[in-house]
Amino acid sequence: MQKYVIHPSSSLSFNVLYIVLELLFIDSAFSFLIPRKHLRRSVCRHSTATTESLERTYGGIVYRTSVFNKEEYAIIAEDVARVGTLVAESPTSMAKRRRGAILPSNSRTVQLFRHGSLQQFVQQMTSSDYELSEEVPIEIRSYDQAGACMAWHSDDILYQDPPQVEIIWTLENTSDCQTMWKTTTGQVKSVETEKNSVIALRAGGPEHCVTSLKRGKRIILKCVYASKKATFVSQTQDAAQFQAVKTKKKKKR
Ligand SMILES: *[C@@H]1O[C@H](CO)[C@@H](O)[C@H](O)[C@H]1NC(C)=O
């Protein structure tokens, strides 16, 4: 896990060390150097491990860069732009001054999330048959107003046995806010989430937060992957809130 974490105050030499470590572990951070064919094969490989590396290796939270290729990224950016107006989240939300919307279920992005390299990554992390949730939609969340932030919390368990994996994929980030989490030993870590990166974390697992934005903008897509074996137990407050808006406009299905 260490190797993915750069503290904001990190010096140049630390960054160099980070790059060396990344090269040693050649992973998706350098996927642009690896021909697509080979990348697919390595991402796809089936693990025989019975323990989930998300917990075992990463303590329940992992950060990866270069998730989608250029064409896929462009498709997602277009879908997000098409959604247009984002709605302020209710004040009961863990987040403050954040805006959001639900991505229509027929958008190409949903297909990319359901069958692309992100799903393969989640399956690799969990050594299991995780699939994009049918119940929880993909949400767009935008931190673009001063003071936008999200308090420390652990994600609500929406699926049981096992709990779902929550995904935060960054569309763009020119902001100065930080993503932070606590390790199982209580250490606070942070990461500078870059465009086309992903954070995967276990619901009910590591506590995390986003510090208050002063300048810039950060747009993410949030979604949920669940095991075929898991039982859906409840809807998120945030999703329910956006869905209420959607239902009102459409006058019930
Ligand atoms: C967004 O990017 C900036 C600049 O690279 C970085 O300092 C910051 O930590 C990132 N924000 C988040 C929430 O990851």
CATH 2.60.120.620 applies to domain 42-239:
yes
How far, in Å, is the centroid of ligand 1 from the Cα of 245?
30
| Minimum CA distance residue for ligand 1 atom 6 | 192
How far, in Å, is the centroid of ligand 1 from the Cα of 206?
19
- 186 three-state secondary structure: coil
Give the DSSP H/E element, type plus range, for residue 32: none
Angstrom distance (rounded) from CA 76 to CA 113: 10
Instruction: Using the atom order of ligand 1, give the atom closest to the CA of residue 211.
Output: 13
Count CB-CB contacts under 10 A for residue 38: 10
Give the DSSP H/E element, type plus range, for residue 219: strand 218-226
Per-residue tokens: 68: 């989608």
Angstrom distance (rounded) from CA 20 to CA 33: 15
Bridge pairing between strands 231-232 and 159-160: antiparallel
Ligand 1 pocket mutation, candidates 171, 172, 176, criterion most atoms within 8 A of CB: 176
Angstrom distance (rounded) from CA 155 to CA 7: 23
Per-residue tokens: 133: 């949730």
- Between helices 108-115 and 70-83, what is the axis angle to 10°? 140
Domain boundaries, the chain: 12-41, 42-239
| Minimum CA distance residue for ligand 1 atom 10 | 192
How far, in Å, is the centroid of ligand 1 from the Cα of 249?
35
Which one, of 20, 129, 138, 134, lies nearest residue 79 by Cα? Answer: 138
CA distances from 20 to 25, 57, 65, 67, 85 (A): 9, 20, 16, 20, 42
pLDDT at residue 40, as a whole number: 40
Angstrom distance (rounded) from CA 18 to CA 11: 11
Which one, of 70, 76, 63, 62, lies nearest residue 113 by Cα? Answer: 76
Angstrom distance (rounded) from CA 216 to CA 218: 7
Helices (H) and strands (E) in the chain, counts: 7, 15
Bridge pairing between strands 95-96 and 149-153: antiparallel
How far, in Å, is the centroid of ligand 1 from the Cα of 176?
5
Angstrom distance (rounded) from CA 6 to CA 170: 17
| Minimum CA distance residue for ligand 1 atom 5 | 192
Per-residue tokens: 14: 């630390």
Per-residue tokens: 11: 């010096």
How far, in Å, is the centroid of ligand 1 from the Cα of 56?
27
Ordered per-residue pLDDT tens for the chain, 253 residues: 344 444 444 444 544 444 444 444 444 444 444 444 444 433 434 444 446 789 888 889 999 999 999 999 999 999 999 998 898 987 667 888 889 999 999 999 999 999 999 999 999 999 999 999 999 999 999 999 999 999 999 999 999 999 999 999 999 999 999 999 999 888 999 999 999 999 999 999 999 999 999 999 999 999 999 999 999 998 655 555 555 444 444 344 3
**Residues with C-beta less than 6 Å from any ligand 1 atom:** 8, 173, 175, 177-179, 191-193, 210, 218
Order of strands across the sheet that contains 208-210: 95-96, 149-153, 208-210, 179-182, 188-191
